[in-house]
Amino acid sequence: MPTPDFTNFFSAPGQFYRGNLHTHSTNSDGVLSPEEVCRRYQAEGYDFIALTDHFVGLYDYPISDTTAFRNDNFTTLLGAELHTGAMENGHIWHLLAVGLPADFTPPNAPDFGGNHHDESGPEIAARAREAGAFVAIAHPHWSQMSHQDAQSITAAHAVEIYNHGCVVDNDRGTSFHTLERLLNDGTRLNLIATDDAHFSTPDHFGGWVMVKARENTPEALLTALKAGEFYASLGPEIHDIRLSDNSIEVDCSAAITVIIQGNRPQCAVHHGTSMTRATLPLDRLGDSPWLRVTVVDSAGKRAWSNPIWR
């Protein structure tokens, strides 16, 4: 039988770096200083973070300058959690922008009150992307965001599908339904897991991204994020994914389950013990235009690949 012709993922040069893309400090409603937030993430083994304080007038529209806390083993990306206008439900928009310039022009968002007469969410997302940022739709489950609102953020690179703070504090931290409805519309979006850490509850060190980049610098990380060279995790590692017309091979850290999802209820699944490689046939996925991989370890922790478009 001929060997399948596989397309290899994670083939970009470099190595994986662990980072959190959603974090708060005393520059907005967090309880730790920016310096202490950075120190704790580095001590916990992270390679980088983005401090994304709330970009509203209440906090003087902060884009927290963390450049002084970079060192040979740890770096930071400048960013903010952007707020403006109002969604269909009347609540203010929440959008992550990582890699913002320090002089990004604020909206007219004095506080967290929704305003139907100001710059819209789609408009500020487009402005952030044009300014060079990696843009993500923040915690749509928590925000109770409608599908129409999610569709309108055409400048987004990703959906925040896991928000550890929301999982811990209100059990509204997973947003796969929002992501998959957008994928089924043909919208090409990636996915991120984050902490949304404020350090006032156990909302930290729970979810992260593993970014494959040439080096641990803001420029290289941002380039890789925009290119989709990363996966999201709560613990497991995804070393490689290889796709053929009929199957997917996944190399990972020790796992008990590997699942392939697509645009239909049926999934491909393989269970085992301490698996580090799994090959799954794609016949149950039919002609789904996108696929994504979930890896589950013995503690129930998960890792998720970005969608793979066939």
Length of the chain: 310
Strands, DSSP E only, in 43-150? 48-51, 54-55, 75-82, 95-98, 134-137
Q: Where in the chain is the domain with CATH 3.20.20.140?
A: 15-233
d(CA 285, CA 263): 8
Q: Who's near 245: CB < 8 A, 6+ residues apart?
A: 4, 5, 282
Residue 155, beta-bridge partner list: none
Return the SS3 of 185.
Answer: coil
CB 265 within 8 A of CB 239: no
Among 216, 186, 203, 141, which residue's Cα sits nearest to residue 288?
186
Q: Is the dihedral of CA 126, 131, 137, 138 positive or negative?
A: negative
Q: What is the CATH number of domain 236-309?
A: 2.60.40.10
Specify the pLDDT at position 9.
81
Q: Are strands 247-261 and 268-281 parallel, antiparallel or unpaired?
A: antiparallel
d(CA 195, CA 205): 6
Give the pLDDT mean for 149-162: 98
What backbone torsions phi and psi does residue 258 show, to the nearest 5 degrees?
-125, 130
Q: Where in the chain is the domain with CATH 2.60.40.10?
A: 236-309
Return the SS3 of 218.
Answer: helix
Is the pLDDT score of 266 beyond 70?
A: yes
Return the SS3 of 244.
Answer: coil
Among 190, 182, 170, which residue's Cα sits nearest to residue 146?
182
d(CA 84, CA 302): 33
Sole residue written with tokens 């999982």: 167
Give the pLDDT mean for 63-68: 98
d(CA 157, CA 130): 12
pLDDT band at 40 (very low <50, low <70, confident <90, very high): very high
Give the pLDDT mean for 94-118: 90
Return the SS3 of 259.
Answer: strand
CATH superfamily name and code, 15-233: Metal-dependent hydrolases (3.20.20.140)
pLDDT band at 1 (very low <50, low <70, confident <90, very high): very low
Residue 163, Ramachandran bin (φ over 0: left; ψ between -120 and 50: alpha; else beta): beta
Return the SS3 of 134.
Answer: strand
Name the percent of the chain lying above pLDDT 70. Answer: 97
Q: Who's near 3: CB < 8 A, 6+ residues apart?
A: none
Which of 114 and 245 is assigned the larger pLDDT?
Answer: 245
The chain-wide mean pLDDT, for the chain, equals 95
Specify the pLDDT at position 6.
59
Among 138, 124, 128, 110, which residue's Cα sits nearest to residue 196?
138
d(CA 77, CA 259): 32
